[in-house]
Amino acid sequence: MAPRLSLPTTARLPSSLRVNPSNTSINKALSRLSRPSLLSLVLDWLDPNNQSLCPPLLRENSSDDEEDEFASDLYPPAYSLPELRELYTDMQTRKGGKREVVDRILEGDWRDGLSLYQLAMADLQYLYDHPGTLKWACYKIQRLQTPGHEDDVEADRSYDKIDKLAMHVPRFHPSTFLQNLQSEVLPDVKAHYNFDRPKGLPLLLLRIFVLDSPYNTDLAVSATSGSTSSTTRTVTCFDASRTIYVAFPDASPHIFVSKSQSAGPTTHAETRSLRALVVEGIPKALSRPGERYALKSVNLQTKNLDAMLSLRGSGRSNAAAGGWNVYAGDKAADARTHSPLNPLLPTPPLSDDAVEDDDERAADLRNQETKTLKRALGPETTEEGKQRKRARLVAQARFGDNAKVDDGKGVERVDVLVEDAFPIHAADIEGEDDDQDTEETQQSRSRKPKGRRSGIDASLLQEAEIDEDEDPEQQQRDQNQEADASDENLHRVGPRRTGEGDGDREKWAWRPNVRLSLHGPHVFAGIRQLVEAGFIDGERMPGWMTGEEGVTMGAVRNGRIKGFRGSGL
Amino acid sequence: MGSRVSLSPELSVADRLHDEIAKLRAQVESLKNDVKLQTATLMTADSTRQILQSQTTGDRQPKASEAVKQRLLTRFQEQSAHKQQSLYRACATITTFKVNDPDPNAVDGGHVLGLRFEVMSKAKFARPYYVMLNRPYANRRYLRVHRHTVPQCIPLSGLAAQHLPPPTAKTDEDPPQKQDLSLFARALRRELVRYHNRAAVIGDMKKAAGLGSKKALDQDSDTAIVDISAADAEAKQISIQWRDGRSGRLIMNDDGGIVKMVVQGDNGQDRETVRRFLGGAVRVEEVTKGLESH
């Protein structure tokens, strides 16, 4: 290729920029797709609308002397687009290996290279095929106070405070956002952006692919460019960890940012800083003159976008999770039954049973306190059916229609730090006995010494660090916002004041640092099942175990997640 | 099913029976609903009350029917209470109720005040919006939003901060702000209704432009405008797409007044289209009327 003049620019990487097929990462990106999705992807590329971004190699004309050029070729190029499309459609009906398709793409029809757009499509296709591969962290977009006067800015007063009175829902405009984001990203980093709307999810997905190169031409992506140092660098360039996904849910002032899966040789620090760069750039890109925004983590991380959307989407279920979701139903039937014009007497769920066997429940409670569960169930087999029914009803009351195993809204990990005082009386025991029932990895450790974490696996370690990162931040936030802080203080002081006798003891009580982490394909469905099976006493189970707080990380004080997370405000 | 019939007649018989059972089940279900509806209607009738009360006053009744009567009377009371509640809900549109927080560690003994907001859209009552309030602050009557079902496009947090500010610490120099629940409820209801009205106006505009249903879109493809949709969460911005590639944005304020409109054509801004489209309208409804008359 003739050396072209390449000037460092601040522009983004064009979608049509081609990457040499000899690059191993391209091979990797394509071969991790299944054959059917690969073929449908190729057919998408061959769509007439996409020709400017992913043109295949076609023969110019059917003259004889040109055929010689490809005579020895394993995959001779096709004459026309329809022909090629037919070829791949044939492959769809035929059985065969995936290798065949990948080879045909790389050595045949796209031997000149795949455009960045094609790579983005391949990556997105993989994401849609395997929706659980990325971990998403949720951030809330919050408006910052606009300084009322220049003096305010100079005095550094009310400058970076969140405008709580804002009566404005942040709006998001994709192309403006991209322009601004590009100007926020450093000039020696080039990024390729690709927007896509996944089917069946009310959100807009932005794929950001970052390269360390000052150029936005071939030089940025070519592995065979002059200096050797850049060669080694470009190889690492095409790593999955350099891809960041940002999802913008429709009509919701939140964004979901993917956490890197750390696959590849790039170090953690590098990916993190990259991500931090983007996360930092996003609020600036959203802001406009006189309208500044900040991102605030809402302590929600999951691999499941559906779960994320139900907790932070545009619907009604955001601040009404768990048992509260009986109020959030939005179907036509719900509207009819809850219409004020419905003359039928409402039949609240569980209303009758809840009162019926109250005494029985009390007796059960006493039993469960004294005996272990196995023994409790043993002699009372006659009661077993009744208890089971009761447990099911309690589960229904606490979880509503949420947290069903098959609802596809599973959160795979919940981390909780319990900061409550160690219970002294049997009567004081509040949530703690639930914890040991739930078969969790329970870690009690002091927060400072790091040596004790040795037994935890690497990912937990990472989480723990994040948690520690966030805790001071949370405290700091509380200090910064007087209002919030006073909430917290009052709230902490509250129970002490009410229980006057316990006041002193409470103050000096031993507060072990109990760290709880629940894993599973659907954590809250698991808890629900345990409640239904009677292993967890559904009535004494703290509220955060139903998932109604809408967080996957949190500190528990007085049996509740700190900071009123469930209200979504 | 036709192919199955030809294959095996037994299967078809089974299928037919299956269908019949399903149909009968549905019938039973609808009849049951009918009965419920009739009972509800009867129970709320004034004459029913008279009969019931006259029976209770009369003492020549046998003892057995006394229990039935009592049951009917309680049912009647429940039903009339429900009727009254429905009446309030339909007319006052903001109603309150009490909820018990199932969380054993809930603040304030699990007492939760629920606000129910009725919103009408498309000549129907939509599912009410709920806001649940509790009192997490010790020894104070200050309320805080506990749970709610208000969608994200309503600035609930701003409203709550304005009308239900948390109690400030005593050291603070600012005077303690007072909470005003009724103002909060009114402001929130206003936002909800305005949001629904804006969304409805956009729907009306769509219909007026001949984009009401998909069928209409297919049939006459000569409409100048190909798409009208809300462009933001709050339904304050309307994006309009013309067939010839022009695209426009109309911004309205909270109440449906037109703030601004811009149309981009092939060569820059197209002010002529804006003028024609708006036709001197001040409110979005006037634009809709203008579209209809075209």
Q: What digits encode the pLDDT tens for the residues B244-286?
A: 888 888 888 888 888 888 888 888 888 888 888 888 888 888 8
Interchain pair B147, A548: CB under 8 A: yes
Which amino acid, A269?
A: A
Arithmetic mean of pLDDT, B3-16: 66
CB of A320 less than 8 A from some CB of B: yes
Interchain pair B149, A482: CB under 8 A: no
Tokens of A37: 């999705």
Q: Which residues on chain B are in Cβ contact (under 8 Å) with A345?
A: 40, 78-79, 82
- Pairwise CA distance, residues A444 & A512, whole Å: 7
Arithmetic mean of pLDDT, A89-104: 82
Of B89, B109, B132, the residue at which a domain comes to its end is B89
Arithmetic mean of pLDDT, A297-309: 85
Q: What is the pLDDT of residue B48?
A: 80
Per the CB < 8 A criterion, the answer to whether A299 and A551 are in contact is: yes
Same domain, B188 and B213: no
> Would B203 be classed as within a structural domain?
no
Question: DSSP letters along A64-114, please?
Answer: HHHHHHTTT-SSPPBSSHHHHHHHHHHHHHS---HHHHHHIIIIIITTT-E
At what angle are helices B284-293 and B271-278 packed, to 10 degrees? 90
Residue A450 has pLDDT above 80, yes or no: no
- Confidence at A354, pLDDT banded by 50, 70, 90: very low
Strand bridging mode A553-557 / A413-418:
parallel
Interchain pair B168, A167: CB under 8 A: no
Range with the poorest average pLDDT among A168-177, A265-274, A286-295: A265-274
Q: Which of A169, A250, A343 sits opposite B234 (nearest CB)?
A: A169
Q: Which of B85, B105, B167 sits opposite A486 (nearest CB)?
A: B167
What is the percent of chain B where pLDDT is above 70? 86
CB of B134 less than 8 A from some CB of A: no
A427 CA: distance to closest CA in chain B (Å): 14
What residues contact residue A218 under an 8 Å CB cut-off, 6+ apart? A1, A4, A6, A17, A18
A1 CA: distance to closest CA in chain B (Å): 37
Q: The complex's ipTM?
A: 0.78
Interchain pair A319, B162: CB under 8 A: no
What residues contact residue B117 under an 8 Å CB cut-off, 6+ apart? B93, B94, B128, B129, B130, B131, B185, B188, B189, B192
Overall number of domains in chain B: 3
Of A380, A327, A16, A172, nearest in space to B101 by CA: A327
pLDDT tens profile A2-21: 455 666 666 777 777 777 77
Question: DSSP letters along A469-535, please?
Answer: HHHHHHHHHHHH-HHHHHHHHHHHHHHHHHSTTTHHHHHH-----EEEEEESSSHHHHHHHHHHTTS
A contact residues 496-515, partner B, Cβ 8 Å cutoff: 497-498
Q: Output A568 or A203, whichever has higher pLDDT.
A: A203
Range with the poorest average pLDDT among A281-290, A333-342, B58-67, B175-184: B58-67
Same domain, B104 and B76: no
- Confidence at A174, pLDDT banded by 50, 70, 90: confident
Q: What is the pLDDT of residue A430?
A: 44
Closest residue in B to A141 (Cα–Cα): B152
CB of B109 less than 8 A from some CB of A: no
Average pLDDT, chain B: 82
> Would B56 be classed as within a structural domain?
yes
CB of A494 less than 8 A from some CB of B: yes
pLDDT tens profile A534-545: 888 888 888 888
Closest residue in A to B105 (Cα–Cα): A559
Q: Which residues on chain B are in Cβ contact (under 8 Å) with A558?
A: 105
Residues in chain B: 294
Q: Output A435 or A523, whichever has higher pLDDT.
A: A523
Q: Please tell me whether residue B157 adopts helix, strand or coil conformation.
A: helix
Residues in chain A: 569
Arithmetic mean of pLDDT, A403-420: 83
In order of A214, A272, A421, A447, A515, the CA distances from A512 in angstroms are: 52, 31, 7, 10, 9
B209 CA: distance to closest CA in chain A (Å): 25
Q: What is the pLDDT of residue B26?
A: 94
Same domain, B113 and B164: yes
Interchain pair A343, B151: CB under 8 A: no
A contact residues 342-371, partner B, Cβ 8 Å cutoff: 342-346
Q: Output A221 or A567, whichever has higher pLDDT.
A: A567
Interchain pair A329, B127: CB under 8 A: yes
pLDDT tens profile A336-345: 788 888 888 7
Q: What is the pLDDT of residue A225?
A: 38
Of B89, B104, B131, the residue at which a domain comes to its end is B89
Arithmetic mean of pLDDT, A327-331: 79
Same domain, B178 and B213: no
Per the CB < 8 A criterion, the answer to whether B122 and B207 are in contact is: no
pLDDT tens profile A128-173: 888 878 888 888 888 887 766 665 555 555 456 677 777 777 777 7
CATH fold for the domain made of A131-315: Alpha-D-Glucose-1,6-Bisphosphate; Chain A, domain 4 (3.30.530)
Arithmetic mean of pLDDT, A545-563: 82
Most confident segment among B4-18, B177-191, B220-234: B177-191
B108, B127, B184: best to mutate for the A interface, most A CBs within 10 A: B127
B141 CA: distance to closest CA in chain A (Å): 13
Strand bridging mode A135-143 / A293-302:
antiparallel
- Pairwise CA distance, residues B239 & A116, whole Å: 30
Per the CB < 8 A criterion, the answer to whether A353 and A393 are in contact is: yes
Q: What is the pLDDT of residue B25?
A: 95
Q: What is the pLDDT of residue A462?
A: 42
B contact residues 163-202, partner A, Cβ 8 Å cutoff: 165-169, 172
Q: Which of B85, B168, B237 sits opposite A483 (nearest CB)?
A: B168
Interchain pair B86, A559: CB under 8 A: no
pLDDT tens profile B137-165: 877 788 888 889 998 888 888 888 888 88
Q: Which of B44, B90, B101 sits opposite A340 (nearest CB)?
A: B90
Q: Which of B102, B136, B160 sits opposite A569 (nearest CB)?
A: B160
Per the CB < 8 A criterion, the answer to whether B247 and B241 are in contact is: yes
A545 CA: distance to closest CA in chain B (Å): 10
Q: Which residues on chain B are in Cβ contact (under 8 Å) with A540?
A: 104
What residues contact residue A21 under an 8 Å CB cut-off, 6+ apart? A27, A105, A106, A107, A110, A111, A112, A113, A114
Q: What is the pLDDT of residue A209?
A: 82
Same domain, B188 and B237: no
Q: What is the pLDDT of residue A340?
A: 85
- Confidence at A427, pLDDT banded by 50, 70, 90: very low
Same domain, B113 and B163: yes
- Pairwise CA distance, residues A466 & A553, whole Å: 10
CB of B24 less than 8 A from some CB of A: no
Of B55, B89, B123, the residue at which a domain comes to its end is B89
Same domain, B114 and B168: yes
CB of B87 less than 8 A from some CB of A: yes
Closest residue in A to B148 (Cα–Cα): A319
Arithmetic mean of pLDDT, A338-364: 59
- Confidence at B96, pLDDT banded by 50, 70, 90: very high
Question: DSSP letters along A132-185, please?
Answer: GGSEEEEEEEEEBPPPSSHHHHHTT-SSS-B-TT--------HHHHHHHHHHHS
Residue A106 has pLDDT above 90, yes or no: no
A contact residues 73-112, partner B, Cβ 8 Å cutoff: none
Q: What is the pLDDT of residue A197?
A: 87
pLDDT tens profile B20-32: 999 999 999 999 9
Q: Which of A254, A341, A566 sits opposite B90 (nearest CB)?
A: A341
Residue B3 has pLDDT above 70, yes or no: no
Tokens of A169: 């829902």
Average pLDDT, chain A: 69
> Would B79 be classed as within a structural domain?
yes
Q: Which residues on chain B are in Cβ contact (under 8 Å) with A487?
A: 136-137, 144, 166
Q: Which of B128, B161, B169 sits opposite A486 (nearest CB)?
A: B169
Range with the poorest average pLDDT among A225-239, B171-185, B275-289: A225-239
Query: How many CB pairs lie under 8 A apart between chains A and B?
Result: 187
A contact residues 231-270, partner B, Cβ 8 Å cutoff: 250-254
A157, A165, A342, A402: best to mutate for the B interface, most B CBs within 10 A: A165
SS (H, E, C) A330-355: CCHHHHHHCCCCCCCCCCCCCHHHHH
Q: What is the pLDDT of residue A224?
A: 40
Q: Which residues on chain B are in Cβ contact (under 8 Å) with A320?
A: 130, 147-149
Interchain pair B153, A314: CB under 8 A: yes
Q: What is the pLDDT of residue A420?
A: 79
pTM, rounded to two decimals: 0.76
Same domain, B176 and B263: no
Same domain, B243 and B268: yes
> Would B131 be classed as within a structural domain?
yes
Arithmetic mean of pLDDT, B61-80: 80
Q: Which residues on chain B are in Cβ contact (under 8 Å) with A483?
A: 165-166, 168
Q: What is the pLDDT of residue A6?
A: 61
What is the dihedral sign for C-alpha A489, A492, A496, A498?
positive
B251 CA: distance to closest CA in chain A (Å): 13
> Would B204 be classed as within a structural domain?
no
Which regions of chain B does DSSP assign to beta strands (E)?
A: 94-100, 111-117, 120-121, 124-125, 129-134, 144-148, 225-230, 237-242, 247-252, 258-265, 268-269
Of A256, A257, A285, A255, nearest in space to A271 by CA: A257
With tokens 């806001």, the residue in question is B131
Closest residue in A to B44 (Cα–Cα): A343
Residue A263 has pLDDT above 60, yes or no: no
CB of B112 less than 8 A from some CB of A: no
Start-end of CATH 3.30.530 domains in chain A: 131-315
Q: What is the pLDDT of residue B174?
A: 59
Closest residue in B to A338 (Cα–Cα): B127
Closest residue in B to A142 (Cα–Cα): B157
Q: Which residues on chain B are in Cβ contact (under 8 Å) with A335?
A: 124-127
Tokens of B237: 């911005």
Q: What is the pLDDT of residue B58?
A: 52
For B288, half-sphere exposure in the C-beta direction (CA atoms, 13 angstrom radius) is: 19
Arithmetic mean of pLDDT, A174-197: 79
- Confidence at A465, pLDDT banded by 50, 70, 90: very low
Q: Output B108 or A63, whichever has higher pLDDT.
A: B108
Note the Cα B225 to chain centre separation in Å. 30
- Pairwise CA distance, residues B247 & B244, whole Å: 9
CB of A561 less than 8 A from some CB of B: no
What is the percent of chain A where pLDDT is above 70? 63
Q: What is the pLDDT of residue A55?
A: 79
Same domain, B154 and B175: yes
Residue A480 has pLDDT above 50, yes or no: no
- Pairwise CA distance, residues A378 & A345, whole Å: 41
Arithmetic mean of pLDDT, A272-278: 72
Range with the poorest average pLDDT among A215-229, A343-357, B263-277: A215-229
In b/e form, how buried is each residue of B227-236, taking b as 16+ CB within 10 angstroms?
A: ebebbbbbbb
B41, B148, B191: best to mutate for the A interface, most A CBs within 10 A: B148
- Confidence at A393, pLDDT banded by 50, 70, 90: confident
CB of A290 less than 8 A from some CB of B: no
What residues contact residue B9 under an 8 Å CB cut-off, 6+ apart? none
- Pairwise CA distance, residues B236 & A260, whole Å: 36
- Between the two ends of chain A, the Cα-to-Cα distance in Å is 57
A88 CA: distance to closest CA in chain B (Å): 32
pLDDT tens profile A32-68: 888 888 888 888 888 877 787 777 777 766 555 555 5
What is the percent of chain A where pLDDT is above 90? 0
Per the CB < 8 A criterion, the answer to whether B233 and B152 are in contact is: yes
Residue B94 has pLDDT above 60, yes or no: yes
Same domain, B188 and B103: yes
In order of B195, B230, B242, B270, the CA distances from B238 in angstroms are: 13, 5, 13, 17
Q: What is the pLDDT of residue A498?
A: 32
Same domain, B85 and B100: no
Range with the poorest average pLDDT among A405-409, A414-418, A484-488, B101-105: A484-488
Residue A356 has pLDDT above 70, yes or no: no
Domain that holds residue B280: 209-293
Q: What is the pLDDT of residue A443?
A: 36
Per the CB < 8 A criterion, the answer to whether A14 and A216 are in contact is: yes
Q: What is the pLDDT of residue B242?
A: 85
Q: What is the pLDDT of residue A231?
A: 40
DSSP assignment, residue A421? P
Q: Please tell me whether residue B190 adopts helix, strand or coil conformation.
A: helix
Residue A93 has pLDDT above 50, yes or no: yes
Residue B59 has pLDDT above 70, yes or no: no
Arithmetic mean of pLDDT, B9-13: 73
CB of A489 less than 8 A from some CB of B: yes
Of B273, B267, B223, nearest in space to B248 by CA: B273
